[in-house]
Structure 1
Amino acid sequence: MSDHAPQPVDRQLPTDEARDLISLVRDIAQREIAPKAAEEEDAARFPREVFALLSGAGLLGLPYDSAYGGGDQPYEVYLQVLEELAAARLTVGLGVSVHTLACYALATHGTKEQQAEYLPAMLGGGLLGAYCLSEPSSGSDAASLRTRAVREDGGDWTLTGTKAWITHGGIADFYTVMARTGEEGPRGITAFLVPGDAGGLSAAVPEKKMGMKGSPTAQVHLDGVRVCDDRRIGEEGQGFAIALSALDGGRLGIAACAIGLAQAALDEALGYASGRRQFGRPIADFQGLRFMLADMATQIEAGRALYLTAARLRDAGRPFAKQAAMAKLHCTDTAMRVTTDAVQILGGYGYTADFPAERYMREAKVLQIVEGTNQIQRMVIARHLAGPPQTG
């Protein structure tokens, strides 16, 4: 209903190479992802061919070492790539973030031999990963997980248990799995790299969700899955520390995806408000809507600045866990507010599937839940500020 075209985000990019990378991503997003997004989400279709295209373009291993097929890109750049992808279709942006999360344990804690054997295919060989920490009875309390890995006489491991809420569950080529190998609590957990075709590994029927229908989320069952010891990542008992470290980066991925989704909603609302006429003029001329649009844009810019600040700390090797939690909290709450306001600006049309605003709103909700709920983020931030809570 409008000739208004969204303006590309003015990116803060450190090099000409990074600018070329963003141009490539933007082109792929506009040609290959956005035009099919509404139809494929409605049909709950996962775009595996898009991930193959991204892999071929070197976009599935951006923050990792080029010696193993990665892109040697700083998180500052990688996260802006995620934002561009999520603005075109959240299923794709979040999928790349989850894949990057699934590669983290091996890329940072694997031996040189493990990295040389497995990482090239994971980063640039067309494979897709999944990250398995949560379980039906352990979500926010991840340290209470029950999936168990038992070492056999020959040195191999047998994994038994169920993982829940697994993005790419049932379609992933590899799973980074946290399993209990020792005592109760966080010190008894170990990380394993499990092939997607391992005997005894299966996935339940995907969950029926209010949004992100094109991204399969399913329980993953491990029924006596045998894994050789050279697929154990890190030392025994180190898995929970690896998982928490991975989640710090993963939270930044979700933050960037949230800002991409919010930016798409703002662009949609602005385009509609500029073209829709009431009382003889565009509704964008009315102060009430102008203030809504101004608030939406300000929240998005603040969120973008927050996730980029955390990313730069990470790139500099400085502590960033507090800022990652802040970014995840602020950016996902922003996505929920902005997408809700976008529906309001479109009025009745915003409530129909003829416009993408209602889909954006449905998709935004899950971002406040994944990679640690926003209540957990507040607990993390408060712990950094005031220390652990007093007991007794």
Structure 2
Amino acid sequence: MDRPTTPTDAPGPLELSEALTALRAEAGDDSTGRPSEVVLAALRTTGVLRLPIPAEYGGLDADWHEANAVITALARADASVAIIVFLHYAAVSRIIAYGSDEQRKRLLSAVAHDGRIFASSWSEPGTDAAKQKVSTTATRCSTGAWELDGAKTFTTGAGVADFYLVLARTGDEQEAPQGSYGRSDQGVFVVDSTRPGFVFDGVLDLSGMRRSATGLIRLSRYRAEEADVLTRSHRTPEAIGHPHTLGLTLGAVALGIAQEAHDTAVGTAHGRALPDNPLSRHHIFELGAQLAAVRGVVEAATSAPGDRTGSALTAKVFGSETAEALCRTAQGLAGSAAFSRSHPLNRLAQDARAITLMGPPNYLCRELVVTRMANR
């Protein structure tokens, strides 16, 4: 039964179902490299985008366990769109934690009431994975505003998002000590895609996450006011890693992929009468065990007390690598047809692989987790 959505309502099954129906209708069409306007409209008009926003700004006030669960549900239908929503939630979490009262009111209300989408834009050609060497500059003007210049690549949601959190070099400290992720001579700026100086340079032709609108943006003498500065100086590295402290994890996307691959493979196996074969039965068992393991680490990410960074990054590494292995097993059960470009298992396998490479990539996640353990 239809019911109106209010700022205090949790996103109901019907609302999420609307978004999932739109996703499943076109999940196999990656020709444009981005979600369609139909899908974007479904995200904007349901409770998906405003899920973790506090009720005082018109949001649904959900916790991060619920956010991970919605990301997983979206990933079962289309991992590319789930990634866009994950990064939107990550940006929202930074605004909640680091934004001024004015910024929270202005930006979070724009999401809750107008369906605006956020993206993060850190990476550049030649930038290391820890984001400690970026070329994009933010130069202070005599008026007190900032002028941003530079090019960003691998920006997920490029050309789709309305606002971008852009990492730029401010030069606040010329001899700034290097942090574990980002530096203290950098700042995070809120960039409005409708202002002069913002240029969308198109999407990349990826092998996985092909509908994620991952592409390039460019800033050419983009003027950012002081009210557009989210963080600067020593707060920048902690702001970059903030979503992990909440338990928000890319492992939630991996779980959606693993669940979909598992169900597809088991359905195919029964259609081919493979459970009659003892070896195939063992493979089916392994699929279930792998899926349960991924679910366990993702759920643990938001149940850990205090700072959940270690659990969130562990869920990302274990979830993505296990989902990738699960997809390979599933492809074996499905036979040669699963390796055609159009087969959903092939798409799922490529998407799982992509998560292992997304920032922070799995090798850096391992380093960050072990370093945190050594510093306790």
What TM-score comes out, normalization by structure 2 length?
0.90
Distance 1:89 1:208, change over 3 A: same
RMSD, aligned α-carbons: 2.1
Aligned counterparts of 2:282 and 2:336: Cα–Cα separation in 1: 20
Match of 1:222 in 2: 219
How big is the shift at 1:58? 1.5
Match of 1:305 in 2: 296
1:78 aligns with 2:67: yes
In structure 2, the gaps of 5 or more residues are 1-8
How big is the shift at 1:354? 5.0
Please tell me the residue identity of whatever aligns with 1:293: I
Q: Which has the higher helix share?
A: 1
Aligned counterparts of 2:70 and 2:118: Cα–Cα separation in 1: 18
Provide, for residues 126-177 of structure 1, a one-character-per-residue CA deviation record: whole Å limited to 9, x for no partner: 2122101122121413122221111111111001112221001133211111
Match of 1:116 in 2: 105
Q: Secondary structure at the match of 1:368?
A: helix
In structure 1, the gaps of 5 or more residues are 1-16, 277-281
Please tell me the residue identity of whatever aligns with 1:275: G
Aligned counterparts, 1:154-169, within 5 A: 154-169=143-158
Provide, for residues 62-113 of structure 1, a one-character-per-residue CA deviation record: whole Å limited to 9, x for no partner: 1221111221111111111111110011122111101112223222111111
Aligned counterparts of 1:211 and 1:236: Cα–Cα separation in 2: 35
Provide, for residues 341-392 of structure 1, a one-character-per-residue CA deviation record: whole Å limited to 9, x for no partner: 111111111112453111111111110011211111111222133349xxxx
Match of 1:246 in 2: 243
How big is the shift at 1:32? 2.2
2:320 corresponds, among 332, 341, 344, to: 332
Please tell me the residue identity of whatever aligns with 2:159: G
1:187 aligns with 2:176: no
1:90 corresponds, among 71, 79, 84, to: 79
Give aligned-pair identity as a percent. Answer: 26
* Number of residue-to-residue matches in the alignment: 360
Please tell me the residue identity of whatever aligns with 1:270: V
Match of 2:6 in 1: none
Aligned counterparts, 1:1-392, within 5 A: 21=11, 23-24=13-14, 27-28=17-18, 30-38=20-28, 40-42=29-31, 44-181=33-170, 182-183=172-173, 184=176, 185=178, 186-248=183-245, 252-276=248-272, 282-313=273-304, 318-387=306-375
How big is the shift at 1:29? 5.2
Aligned counterparts of 1:366 and 1:312: Cα–Cα separation in 2: 26
The answer to whether the 8 A contact 1:170-1:202 is kept is no
Q: Secondary structure at the match of 2:161?
A: coil
The answer to whether the 8 A contact 1:270-1:284 is kept is no
Aligned counterparts of 2:161 and 2:342: Cα–Cα separation in 1: 32
The answer to whether the 8 A contact 2:71-2:252 is kept is yes
